Amino acid sequence: MNETPLVIAQIMGKMNAGGVESVVMNYYRHIDKEKIQFDFIVDEDSAFIPHNEIEQLGGRVFTIPPYHKPVAYHKALVNLLAKNRYKIIHSHINTLSVFPLFAAKCAGVPIRIAHNHSVAGKGETSRNIMKYALRPFSKLFPTHFCACAEHAGRWLFGNKLYDIGKVQLVSNAVDMSKFDYDAEARLAIRTELNIDDKFVVGHVGRFVFPKNHLFLIDIFAQLHSQRRESVLLLVGDGELEQEIRSKVEQLNLTDCVLFLGVRNDVHRILQGMDVFLLPSLYEGLPVVSIEAQASGLRLVASNQVPAEANITNGIEYVDLIKSATEWAGIILHSSANDRESTSRKILESNYNIKIAAKQLEEFYQQTINV
């Protein structure tokens, strides 16, 4: 007779089809669900909660008031955690994890994991004030620490904790079987989108400040002036989408910029691209950079994307101080037609979800057994 699986409370904040949600769902799809199950605790104002898939995998979704309603948030979370008697809570909301982990301590949850997926960047004064104000409390309530990459772990939890091995790296791993380069799939999606004769630049990411879409459009405008058959694919949605659409219209690029919205077939969209553009202002470690490399794409990324992301040597880094014209020239220079499968370079790494999921299972079990 099988033992009851260990249920982990995953604190997601808002689920809006972003990178963190993608990472957690990747792990959930591949863990041994006879040993581990996830409950997803999500802000009630989330825009994209994959209820059906979570329930089909055996999990549950609980919605609570958002953290900016602190009294209601704390009360609802304490009650939920106490009622379900979780042994482990795993919070993915970076510096804001102080709030759910405090609630977890109040509810008597013994294992409290803080997981950092991000850092601070220039240009978001109010958000950075909050991040730096909360950072000193990042070690107050967790019993364990995780990060997507070394620099994210050091930024939130400090060099001392990182250097003594107290920060567990949990890679932004992907399913290699979905992203491996496929020439037939490339032709199919290009035909579907009517871009089969185009030079295709692509980007996947929410329309939010760190992704730097305004500069991305400037880059594409310069590129398009030199290569008229070029098109830009934008996958995602977000608070700045209308501003980006307006800029596209102002630059008379409407016919060559495709807004594809939130998609559940990003692996197919990547097949159709020629170059992936990632001019981020700051990043933890973007999962889409791993997905793009797995699909054999050449990436042109800002120097704010961590070097740890360059797992296939397929990323060309460009300083953000360079002009849009300089970026465009680099992209055109990077558009060699020698795309091939690169999954073999990732298969034996921690970015292979089949390996990474087993490591996460072992980490959870170790926290209980210590």
Is-contact 263 48, C-beta < 8 A? no
The conformation of residue 3, written as its DSSP 8-state character, comes to P
Identify residue 257 by its one-letter amino acid code.
Answer: V
Complete domains list, the chain, with CATH: 6-173+352-369 (3.40.50.2000), 176-347 (3.40.50.2000)
pLDDT, residue 333, reads 83
pLDDT, residue 317, reads 96
- The whole-angstrom separation of Cα 340 and Cα 298 is 10
pLDDT, residue 313, reads 86
- Burial (Cβ within 10 Å: 0-12, 13-18, ≥19) of residue 291: buried
Is-contact 150 172, C-beta < 8 A? no
- The whole-angstrom separation of Cα 269 and Cα 190 is 8
pLDDT tens per residue across span 29-70: 999 999 999 999 999 999 899 999 999 999 999 999 998 899
- Give the number of residues written for the chain: 370
- The whole-angstrom separation of Cα 1 and Cα 305 is 47
Does the pTM exceed 0.75? Answer: yes
Which ranges constitute the DSSP H helices of 164-212? 176-179, 183-192
**Euclidean distance between the first and final Cα of the chain, in Å?**
25
The token pair at 189 is 């999606």
Mean pLDDT of 359-363: 96
pLDDT tens per residue across span 303-355: 999 998 998 888 999 999 999 999 999 999 865 556 666 666 777 778 899 99
Q: Is residue 1 predicted with pLDDT exceeding 50?
A: no
- The whole-angstrom separation of Cα 41 and Cα 92 is 11
pLDDT tens per residue across span 97-153: 999 999 999 999 999 999 999 888 777 777 888 888 999 999 999 999 999 999 999
Mean pLDDT of 157-163: 96
Determine what percent of the chain is predicted with pLDDT higher than 70.
96
pLDDT, residue 341, reads 64
Burial pattern 204-222, b for ≥16 Cβ within 10 A else e, equals bbbbbbbbbbebbbbbbbb
Number of H helices, E strands in the chain: 16, 13
Query: Which string of DSSP letters, residue by residue, matches 335-355?
Result: --S-----THHHHTSTTBHHH
pLDDT tens per residue across span 6-16: 999 999 999 98
Is-contact 37 10, C-beta < 8 A? no
More confident residue, 260 or 314: 260
The conformation of residue 48, written as its DSSP 8-state character, comes to B
| Whole-number average pLDDT of the chain | 92
Torsion of Cα atoms, 142 then 146 then 151 then 154, to 10° = 30
